[in-house]
Structure 1
Amino acid sequence: MPSSAQIASVTQIPGVFAAHATNGAAGTGCTVIICPSGATGGVDVRGGAPATRETDLLRPEETVDVLHSVVLSGGSAFGLAAACGVADELERRGIGLDVGVARVPIVSGACLFDLACGDPSVRPTADDGRAACARALDDPDAPLARGNVGAGTGCTVGKLAGPERAMKGGLGEDVERAGELVCGAVSAVNACGDVRDPDTGEAIAGMRDATGGLARTLDVLLGGSASMPLERANTTISCVVTNARLTKAQATKVAQMAADAYAHAISPTHTTNDGDTVFVMATGAVEAPVDVVGSLATLALGRAIADGARQAATAYGYPAARDL
């Protein structure tokens, strides 16, 4: 078991498994994060056009207090089918909430819009969810790939002025530590706005100007010349995984704090054209103050968003940051 100082991926946090299903030809996929023994879950939804599953169940006043998996998926609302496949595979393996007559896996999820990237008729399916779930559990030591994989396969950013000026986004990850406390974040970056480094403010990817360099989406928006060709065609979806011991109310607070990372790394964010969502999974191994957990989670998520833009590769006609 790695010490907290050696953990470099969410897959190295004890009791946590993660993997992707990727359809590179169609430009879509899904990413699955699993805690078979059950985590304490929380969620924060701030975007104006979310596509989600089992978010109400995570509210502190609801009675179910365990979360077995979070599924991040492409495919817009169609992609919610991937979570059904994850639930099927977890049940097949005997993982879930014991309700006497069956074990019911508690699987939450969110989808992003990638139908304008690749083949819009192909979306993540239940089979994709099953495959990603099996891959995560059967190959637990594999690091989580980043870039054009899983839910990040069809991600794009900087789309306010249309696809001809947009850039490629992707799947990013970051892990931060404070003593024995670990907070890792996985983010599929598909923002309407631009992505910047949360530590330096440096622009990474987003809307391009007429010469192919980076413009500023916020300037275009405030200047009144913006025209969104495809409304609700965005959304950055993320999962924070921590070894902290949290109640559902505390996990919800951590999700709310971590959502500030979107404002640190994306401009503008939480627009009516985004469905921004942050999940939290807490495994309960380490006692830590909620404010410390939330601050560390915010740091990890901001850097994961920046990593998603940096790890993306040029594809489907969209240039990536690494190519500028």
Structure 2
Amino acid sequence: MDGPQLLSAYAGHWTGAGTGVTVILPPPGTVASGEVRGGAPATREFPLLDPTRLVDRVDAVVLSGGSAFGLAAADGVMSVLRERGTGFPTPAGPVPIVVAMSIFDASVSTAPPDATAGREAALAALSGTPFTAGGRALAVGGDLAGGGDLAGGGGLAGGDGFVGGEGVLGGEGVAGRGGVAGRGGVAGGEHLAGGRGGGGLPVGGSVGGGRGPAGGEDLVGDEGLAGGPGGPGGEGRAGRVGAGAGASSGKWRGRLDPGGLGVAERAAGPARVAAVAVVNAWGDVLAADGRPMFAAPAGQGDASEPAGRGEAAGPVEAMFGRGNTTLAVVITNARLSKTDCFLLAQSGHTGFARAIHPAHSRYDGDAVVTLATGEVTDPVDVDLLRAVATETVADAIRAAVADPR
């Protein structure tokens, strides 16, 4: 797996019709733990993440649509890893440790992701493609913008940021057109990877200029990212890709507001913390000021203003209440124990509460996994990491819905 990375993890997507799979492959030796707080989870191998269990390493994390049916995507990931000899050593050969989590989307009643979908997503990750919101393009390791926005003051396309103006993939550009944006830079209002269906997901800043609904983090410029129906290619936009392809939010109000997949990253002393979130929440997604990000429809107050926090539309469970769940993966390059990872997962759930209201309902299967890749050996205060993880997960949740198209 050569090329830029999300810290040191890779990911790939398979996107189908209103559903999908996202596979995250951390480097060997990654320590992991996690916690479920939602009342209706769909997970696989989660008991292994308990700090009291024997195995402290994982080989893959699978996020999918399709609820319990979608957990079958992990079988395809298992097959790919087994072919590569990856897994926990046993006398019978290595057994891949693959943790899976699913959201409930419309594919439950149609064609949920299966082992083939999981296999394709894993192969996309193994191809060396950096983590994105669409199966191609943007690396987000290190300090992407030198402490500034991606699109200004030393950003990806500015010659002073992550790739220094040469393009992400060794001078060829993400889409083979010479630069990160292929057409004049990320801030130029063009495709992030020089073509529809090839773009990457920016993190923690402004890409297209302007201010998006997530409090100043406009995830795409004028064009979309990869991940349309039928696979890792096609035309799709940030958020509606991979496991986030069929996601929605705001269902406690009796409506379907945007959901999706988002990523974010922050510094934490000598280390960094990244987060990947799939937002399919029963509650509202909240902006940084605590207000719901989407306006109330006609009949629920002034449609030009967000509905008030805590004001439900009435009993909605029968129609919308059971198709939910928000998932997150926290990744840090700090060296942590399994117990430390568990504490970061708990703090990730605090990020849910910052960015979703209400969070952790009986109708959600909310779950967080933490991966510690361990490249940074300098001491890092675990509680600093926890505080940063909270904010990074909240950032990723808002990023997931910042471009609802």
Normalized per residue, the structure richer in strand is 1
Alignment check: 8 A CA contact 1:257 1:294 kept: yes
What is the TM-score of this pair, normalised by structure 1? 0.85
Residue-by-residue CA offset, 1:91-131 (whole Å, 9 max, x unaligned): 1112111213311110111100112xx78311111111111
Tell me, yes or no, if the aligned pair for 1:29 and 1:151 is still in contact at 8 Å.
yes
What letter corresponds to residue 77 of structure 2 in structure 1? Answer: V
Matched residue, 1:131? 120
**Structure 2-normalised TM-score?**
0.69
Q: Is the 8 A contact 2:286 2:293 kept in 1?
A: yes
C-alpha separation between the residues in 2 aligned to 1:97 and 1:206? 49
Kindly state the Cα deviation for residue 209 of structure 1 after the two structures are TM-superposed.
4.4
SS state at 1:103 partner: coil
Unpaired runs of 5+ in structure 1?
A: 1-8, 314-324
Q: Which runs of 4+ in 1 moved over 6 A?
A: none
The code of the aligned residue for 2:345 comes to A
Equivalent residue in structure 2 for 1:12, among 6, 9, 13: 6
Distance 2:309 2:104 in 1: 19
Higher helix share: 1
**Deviation of the 1:294 alpha carbon:** 1.0
Structure-2 change in CA distance of 1:262 and 1:209 (3 Å): farther
Q: Using CA pairs below 8 Å that are at least 6 residues apart, which structure has the higher relative contact order?
A: 1
Question: Superposed, which structure 2 residues align to 1:142-161 within 5 Å?
Answer: 142-143=137-138, 145=201, 146-161=238-253
Q: 2:307 — aligned with what?
A: 215
**Deviation of 1:140 (Å):** 3.0
Residues 249/191 of structure 1: CA separation in 2 closer, same or farther (3 Å cut): same
**SS of equivalent residue, structure 1 residue 42:** strand
Residue 258 of structure 1 and its aligned partner are, at CA, apart by 1.5
Query: Structure 1 residue 201 and structure 2 residue 290: aligned?
Result: yes
Report the residue type matching 2:66 in the other structure.
Answer: G
Alpha carbons 2:262, 2:400 under 8 Å: kept: yes
| Alpha-carbon displacement from aligned partner over 1:45-97 (angstroms, at most 9, x marks no partner) | 11010000111001011111111111111001100001111111111112111
Task: State the match for 2:340 in structure 1.
Answer: 250
**Greater CA drift, 42-51 or 99-108:** 99-108
2:342 partner letter? T
Flag structure 2 segments of 5+ consecutive residues without an equivalent. Answer: 131-136, 139-199, 202-237
- Conserved 8 A contact 2:33-2:56: no
Task: Report the counterpart of residue 171 of structure 1 in structure 2.
Answer: 261
Indicate how the Cα distance of structure 1 residues 217 and 78 shifts in structure 2: closer, same or farther if over 3 A, else same. farther
Query: What secondary structure, in the 3-state scheme, does the structure 1 residue paired with 2:394 have?
Result: helix
Alpha-carbon shift at residue 250 of structure 1 (Å): 1.0
The alignment covers a number of residue pairs equal to 293
| SS in structure 2 at match of 1:160 | helix
Aligned 8 A contact 1:159 1:207 in 2: no
Q: How does 1:1-324 map to 2 (within 5 A)?
A: 11-14=5-8, 16-23=9-16, 26-115=17-106, 120-141=109-130, 142-143=137-138, 145=201, 146-162=238-254, 165-197=255-287, 199-205=288-294, 208-210=297-299, 212-213=303-304, 214-216=306-308, 218-220=310-312, 225-228=314-317, 229-286=319-376, 287-313=379-405
Deviates more, 1:135-144 or 1:185-194: 135-144
Check 1:216–1:154 CA distance in 2 against 1; reply closer, same or farther (3 A cut).
farther
Question: Is the Cα contact below 8 Å between 2:70 and 2:114 reproduced in 1?
Answer: yes
The answer to whether the 8 A contact 1:157-1:207 is kept is no
Question: Is the contact between residue 30 and residue 132 of structure 1 (CA under 8 Å) also seen in structure 2?
Answer: yes
Give the CA deviation at 1:203. Answer: 2.6
**Separation in structure 2 between the aligned mates of residue 58 and residue 184 of structure 1, nearest angstrom:** 19
SS of match in other structure, 1:98 = coil
Aligned to 1:317: none
For residues 127 and 307 of structure 1, do their structure 2 counterparts lie closer, same or farther at Cα, with a shift above 3 Å needed? same
Q: Secondary structure at the match of 1:236?
A: strand
2:21, 2:121 within 8 Å by CA — same for their partners in 1? yes
- Following the alignment from structure 2 to structure 1, what is the Cα–Cα distance between the partners of residues 316 and 51? 39
SS in 2 for 1:252: helix
Structure 1 residues 84 and 293, CA, compared in 2 at 3 Å: closer, same or farther? same
Q: Which amino acid aligns with 2:362?
A: T
Residue identity (%): 41
**In structure 1, how many angstroms separate the alpha carbons of the residues matched to 2:256 and 2:331?**
30
Alignment partners' CA distance in 1, 2:297 and 2:36 = 28
Q: Distance in 1 between matches of 2:269 and 2:86?
A: 31
